[in-house]
Structure formats: C-alpha cells, structure tokens
Structure 1
Amino acid sequence: MDSKTKVIIAGAGIAGSVLAIFLKLKGYEPVVYEKIPEVTYAGLALLLSPNGLRVLNLIPGLLDKIRGLQEDKFTHTSTVPDDEGLLIEFDFSTLPAHAGFGLLRMYIVWGHQLVALDQHADHVEVAFVNGTKDAASFVVGCDGLHSDTRVSMFGREEAGYTGLSQTGGVSPIPEELKPEPRVACWYGDGAYMLALTMPDNQMSWAFTMPEPEEKETWRATDKERKEAFQACPWSQWPLGARELVHTAKKIYGLYGRPELSTWHKGRVILVGDAAHPTSPHLGRCANQAFEDIYHLVRLLVQHNTDAAPPPSDVLAKIFEEYCALRVPRTSRLVKEARAMGESNVVQGIEACKARNAALRAVWSNKQAVMAQVADMYLQPFVGQGEI
C-alpha cells in the first residue's frame, strides 16, 4: 500500500463524493468505485437544508461553487372540495439567523460494481463484477438503497414497497408561482404534490399517490403511462400544478429496507441510504448522509489523529461511536418520513379536511415552527465542534 491510508468508497453519488473530499483533506487516500459506466441523470433535484450546508461549508470554497437558489417561501394549498385554497404561507427567510444557513435548492447530474469483501486484520480486499480487485485499510459503503456493500456484509434483503409511488418532472415555472422562489405543496384526496424552484426558470416536482407496486426507476416512463397520468384529476389542480403535471417524465416506487441495528462489520461501514434508506417526504435524504459523513470524519480525526492505517480496535471504537450517534436519529427520521407520506395522501373528503385542519394548526404558530426547525437542524452538531 501507499504511505497514505487508502480507503475504498463504494458509490460515486453525492455522499461518496463528499466523503472522498473530506477524507482527502484529512490526509487519507480515498478511491471511489461506481458501478454505472458513465455520468447520467439521476433524480430530479436536491434541497440542501442547514444541517447539510453546515457540513458542506467545512470544505473550503465549495458552497461558493454550488449553483442553486435560496428557498425562502413555503406555500401549502388544498384542492379538496369545500376546503380549497391556500392552507398556509410560511416565510423561511429568517432561517439563517436561527440555524446558520437557509434552504438551498440545487440539482445533480450523475464500472466497478462491488460483489465481495474479504476482511483481514489490517485491511479489506474488495472484488468487483468485472473481475478486478483492490485493497484498502477500510471500506465505506455509500452505494445507496441497492447497496452491494450492505449485501456483502449482511446478506440480501427484500426491499419493502411502501404502497406509494411518485411521478416527477422538471417544468418551466408557471406564472402563478412567479416571481418568488418557493417550495409549493398541494394536498388533494388521496394525492400530494411538491414543487421546488430551480435555476433557469425551472421547477422540479414530484406527485405522490397510493398505487400498486411500480418498478423502482428514474428512467423516463413510456408514452401510454405518461398520457394516463396527465389525464388524471390532479392534472387540473390550481395554482400552477396543472401546468407542471403536463411534463411528467419519470416514475418510480418508494421503497424501504429492514432496519439495521448496526451499520458496520469488521473494517467496513455504511453511510447514507446504504445504511438508512428513507422515503423523501421530509426532504432529508442527502442531508442525513452529510450528517453521517460529518460524524464519521470527526471521529476519524479524533481517534486516529495522524491518519495512519487504524488498528482494528481503534476502527471498531470509531465505528461504534458513529453508530451510537446516528442509528437512533436516522431510525426516527425514517419512521417520521413514512408517516408523513401516509398522512399527506389520506383518502376521503372528511379525512382530507382533518388533515388540512391539522396542517393549519401546526403551521399557524410561526415562532414555534421556526424554533423547532432550527433545533432539528442544529441538534446533530451541538457540543461536537468542527471537524
């Protein structure tokens, strides 16, 4: 091995890439392996919240290079008969004063597929589908919901369909939603829509509804399915929703994995969706991966000060402290995200009216909402210091 401590990262998505930068800054030699053969489009957009931005800000100059928009305005609209119209409008422009950062909307563009791990006392050997092999002091699995690292550690598990599917796309901003960048939500009978402002006069949006299981993919749907979607009742929703719906491009199912009590085994650790995949209803997927990275790197710096190849006992201490911090928090957030998705798409007019009333009650106390949101974003860093 080289004089620097080599670390293999499985997965070149946003978590793996950010982790690699941090490890490089701290004196390690990360090597990132990605199973897809070339850069392609993945997903619709990414909302960076104060917790994620706090982590990214620790990489010198990075935030200055991120192209995005500050999201200050949230609007929630009901399409339910006899209870139509604006539920609440919330201004998040003061969030940076409470939590250090605001909400930044950005979009991302996205082989070596890991198939086996052979662990030794001081290193891990990794084998890939194409027959190549590599070795490193330790391995970090950042390879998402379908994590091959996780499979190699704990065996194959069935992904559990949540009962909800999403259709999403990117569209020009409707006139009704100009000129202020915003997060816009619509609530209907058995359906929910979220749209977020992007650069270049665009909005990304996602529509959630209960449906039979849909194959999980971000690839473009076929013409027949697209036309059927656009003919549904929500294609006539007000305040810009109808204009957005008519560019439906992508369909995928929302899946979860069985909860893990620990994310490490020997010299291998999981980060992000590989450890705690969550449905997107709280908008915390990437930001939770950044929290993972913050604590993993912080503990490496604390317990392995010279960035030398860590002995097994030191690495075990780092991984155990990391899991003790992160497993309880992410487990709670995964449950909260699924519960929010289910409550957003309740069916029946009376149930929808009850949901609307609950939303009005929760969001009406703006000071309490702001304090709760700021605490949620700051809590993972209290007393921890910088990396």
Structure 2
Amino acid sequence: MPTKVIVVGCGIAGPVLALLLKQKGYEPVIYERGKRSPDAGLSLMLQLNGLRVLSLIPGLVEQLPGMKIDQAMLYSIVPSDERILGQSDYPAELRREYGKGLVGVQRPKFLALLSDTALAQGIPIHFERQVVGVEQEEQYARVLLNTGETDTASIVVGCDGLHSNVRISLFGAEDATFTGLTQLGGITSSAFPDHKPTMFNFYGDGLHVISYAVSEKTYSWALTRREPETKETWRAMDAAAQDSVRNGPLSQLPFGVGYLVQNAEKITKYGLYDRPELKSWHKGRVVLIGDAAHPTSPHLGQGANQAFEDVYHLIRLFHEHHPSPTSEPSAAALSTIFTEFEAKRMERTATLVRGARKAGEIRVVEGPENVRARNDAVCAEWAGEGAALQRARDLLEAEEADWSVK
C-alpha cells in the first residue's frame, strides 16, 4: 500500500505538495478549513523559482490564470518629486533566457486551478474540515478535526498558513507582532491601457504601491502605509468603507494610481504582522512548510514562491531517504528527512523574511528629506541595464546546485 500523507491546507503549498507526492507514489489526502471556492486574497506574483516547481506538474503552468509580465517600472508619486525612478525589461529577458519569467495571477482563480488539478488526479480534498489538533504515536500521526472526526497517516504536513493550527499543536500559541504597516488592495480593470504587461512600484510620502497585470485588462494593486493596528483578515471592507477609499485622497494620486483606487472592484484592508522564527519545523512525523513554518510580509513577493521551494526540497528528500513509498517510513528516516529539510531551508527563508521586512521599512518613509533619499537610493539600485535581471538570477541560482531530482 502507498504511504499515506495527510496534507493540512489546500491553499498555495498544499495541493502542489499533494500532486508531487502522488507522482512519486504516495497517497496524499488534503484537509482544508475553507470552502472549495475561496474568495479571500487578491493576487500573487509567480516568480522564476516558483514557476520552476509548478512546471514539474504536467500541464499546470500552461493553464495559469494570469498574465506574463514584460517590464518593471518605478515612479515617485511624491508631489515635489514626481519622476520615473527606474525601468527595466528584465521580466521579458528572464523569459527569453529561462523560458519562464514573472506571472501575475489572481489568488482565488489560482487556488481553484490547484484544487481542481488535485481532484482531477484523484487526490481527496475534504473541504470545510478544519484540523484543530495533531497527536502522535511511534508509527503514525493523528489529526483532530473540528467535526469531531479523526484521521491517521504515516506523515502529516502542515501547509495551513499564517494561522496554522498544526504549528500551534507542535509548538504552542504565539503572539503575532503588528509591524506598524497596513495594506489596502484591490483589482482594477482597464488600468494602464498604453503599457505592455507591467509590474509597477510607486513610491510616495508615507506610502508605497505595487501593481501588476493579472490579465490582459486587469491590474492588482496593494498600497502599504503606516497606520494604527488593523486586523489580519485579508477580506473585503464593507461597502461604505470601500466607497470612502475610492472617493478619498488616495484617488487623486498621480501616474494612474488614483485610477486604480477609484475603479477597484473590491477593496481589502489588513494589517501586516510578524511572527517569531521557529528553531525547528518538525516534531516526530509532523512537519511544517510555507507560511506555517516561515510566514513573511509581502514586500519581496516571495511567500508563495518560497513555499514552492519548500515543496520541492521536501519531495527531493523523500525521494532520497524513502525511495520506496509503498513501505512505511521509519521514525528515524523521517527525522533524517525533516532535519535535512530544515538545514536546507531555514537560513534561506529567514534571510528572505528579514529582507521583506526591511524592504517594507525602506519603502514606507515620511518627510521630504527621507523620501528624497529613498527615491535617490531606488534610482541608484535600478541603474544599469542588467541590474534587475542579475538580482533575479541571483535569487534563482542560490538554489541551483540542489535541483537534481525531478
């Protein structure tokens, strides 16, 4: 019989992990707290490292519900310093060089594609079944569900995101720390009609906006600024609050930002929080990956892409240390797999989490001297035709040596 693996969470990492486990001969089963058709969240940028993992699932990349990005443009929207800070065609260059570049996708459509693909491959997904706890014995792990039911497997992988109950079961509840930053976000049609598909960064006084194409006529956007603490809901504001934003001062921002705000289909608002770094991501037969293990702020766009890297390396280590998925893995074999996984992934993800936090702090500054200094620094960073392209290559090549098992 194939080794059974319970995957907790059918968000970003869970179904990708399940599909690759299925390819390797395991028996994955997914439990998901939400409904089959999620509507929370806005979008994400699939970058080269994440797309490389998704390409291991036949036909998936070709079905992505998104838009290939051709260029990046950076603007200052500070009233006293309105200007272009940088411009690069590096996304198109990446695609020519590697066959993949950057793809902006709407999160709900992407999640639907992942779950539909898993179901089509015969992977059971139990929606509206929240894992509320995990218990372990020497030979198996048991998940406890909000319905009172239980299920057991040889391995449990917690892919249940920022509010991971698997993490709490392993290491206890932790306080999340508000970073002082909030985000507004939306999806807007008919934005930037005169541009080829672009990723924009707009730098203001006390705010930063990122926007990118997610279809031929649609852009997603997120506006970060310093505000009082806001809940981490990732869901749409009520109608009156949305109208207040659409008609407020943000609707007057230049270079098309005001249009994004005025014409957003729906507007979400959420606080950005930090969580403590864990010293370990596993106990016994249970391991965490993705945001459950190393939650990050969104300022580098690497959250989902790092989750996919986690998936790849976990599959690689299963293949190396448990090459026969029809036999039950010993506790010793799983300890080796999970320990090597942590050794491979912890430093890299921690560096990116700290980098994302720093990026948020640098982008959102206030006052004439500070914003001028930031704008000049952005100009210097993006100077040179190949600077942005080399940064993207560096991110990819940091993992290159270990991508040997397909």
Q: Output the TM-score relative to the length of structure 1.
A: 0.96
Task: Return the match for 2:389 from 367, 370, 385.
Answer: 370
Does the Cα contact within 8 Å between 1:177 and 1:240 map onto a contact in 2? no
Q: Which amino acid aligns with 2:58?
A: P
Does the Cα contact within 8 Å between 2:314 and 2:337 map onto a contact in 1? yes
Please give the alpha-carbon distance, in whole angstroms, between the structure 1 residues aligned to 2:46 and 2:145: 32
Q: Which amino acid aligns with 2:51?
A: L
Please give the alpha-carbon distance, in whole angstroms, between the structure 1 residues aligned to 2:387 and 2:38: 41
Runs of 5+ consecutive residues of structure 2 not aligned to the other structure: 112-127
Aligned to 1:241: 257
Alignment pair present for 1:144 and 2:142: no
Aligned to 2:400: 381
Give SS of 1:82's match. Answer: helix
Does the Cα contact within 8 Å between 1:99 and 1:375 map onto a contact in 2? no
1:168-196 per-position Cα deviation (integer Å, ceiling 9, x unaligned): 1111133x453400001111100011111
Q: Which amino acid aligns with 2:226?
A: P
Of the structure 1 ranges 372-381 and 207-216, higher mean CA displacement relative to structure 2 is found in 372-381
Q: Which amino acid aligns with 2:219?
A: M
Please give the alpha-carbon distance, in whole angstroms, between the structure 2 residues aligned to 1:259 and 1:198: 32
Q: Which amino acid aligns with 1:348?
A: G
Does the Cα contact within 8 Å between 2:88 and 2:388 map onto a contact in 1? no
Runs of 5+ consecutive residues of structure 1 not aligned to the other structure: none
Q: Which amino acid aligns with 1:331?
A: A
Q: Which amino acid aligns with 1:67?
A: P
Does the Cα contact within 8 Å between 1:196 and 1:205 map onto a contact in 2? yes
Please give the alpha-carbon distance, in whole angstroms, between the structure 2 residues aligned to 1:350 and 1:235: 25
Of the structure 1 ranges 369-378 and 133-142, higher mean CA displacement relative to structure 2 is found in 369-378
Q: Which amino acid aligns with 1:237?
A: L
Does the Cα contact within 8 Å between 2:193 and 2:217 map onto a contact in 1? no
Aligned to 2:119: none
Alignment pair present for 1:298 and 2:316: yes
Give SS of 1:18's match. Answer: helix
Task: Return the match for 2:362 from 336, 343, 359.
Answer: 343
1:134-182 per-position Cα deviation (integer Å, ceiling 9, x unaligned): 00001000000000000000000111111111111111133x4534000
Task: Return the match for 1:309 from 321, 325, 328.
Answer: 328
1:350-383 per-position Cα deviation (integer Å, ceiling 9, x unaligned): 1000000000001002323322221212322324
Does the Cα contact within 8 Å between 2:178 and 2:272 map onto a contact in 1? yes
Please give the alpha-carbon distance, in whole angstroms, between the structure 2 residues aligned to 1:264 and 1:55: 23
Alignment pair present for 1:57 and 2:67: no
Give SS of 1:382's match. Answer: helix
CA shift, 1:294, in A, is 0.4
Q: Which amino acid aligns with 2:77?
A: T
Of the structure 1 ranges 346-355 and 76-85, higher mean CA displacement relative to structure 2 is found in 76-85
Task: Return the match for 2:376 from 346, 357, 360.
Answer: 357
Please give the alpha-carbon distance, in whole angstroms, between the structure 2 residues aligned to 1:156 and 1:295: 27
Does the Cα contact within 8 Å between 1:99 and 1:378 map onto a contact in 2? no
Does the Cα contact within 8 Å between 1:177 and 1:239 map onto a contact in 2? no
Alignment pair present for 1:28 and 2:26: yes
Please give the alpha-carbon distance, in whole angstroms, between the structure 2 residues aligned to 1:99 and 1:383: 17
Does the Cα contact within 8 Å between 1:98 and 1:374 map onto a contact in 2? no
CA shift, 1:97, in A, is 4.4
Query: How many residues are matched?
Result: 384
Alignment pair present for 1:190 and 2:198: no
Q: Which amino acid aligns with 1:365?
A: G
Give SS of 1:158's match. Answer: coil
Does the Cα contact within 8 Å between 2:74 and 2:85 map onto a contact in 1? yes
Please give the alpha-carbon distance, in whole angstroms, between the structure 2 residues aligned to 1:187 and 1:231: 21
Q: Which amino acid aligns with 2:19?
A: I
CA shift, 1:223, in A, is 3.3
CA shift, 1:319, in A, is 0.3
Please give the alpha-carbon distance, in whole angstroms, between the structure 1 residues aligned to 2:337 and 2:69: 36
1:198-235 per-position Cα deviation (integer Å, ceiling 9, x unaligned): 21511111110011111111222123432443344332
Please give the alpha-carbon distance, in whole angstroms, between the structure 1 residues aligned to 2:246 and 2:206: 16
Aligned to 2:131: 114
1:298-347 per-position Cα deviation (integer Å, ceiling 9, x unaligned): 00001111112210111100000000011100001001101101111101
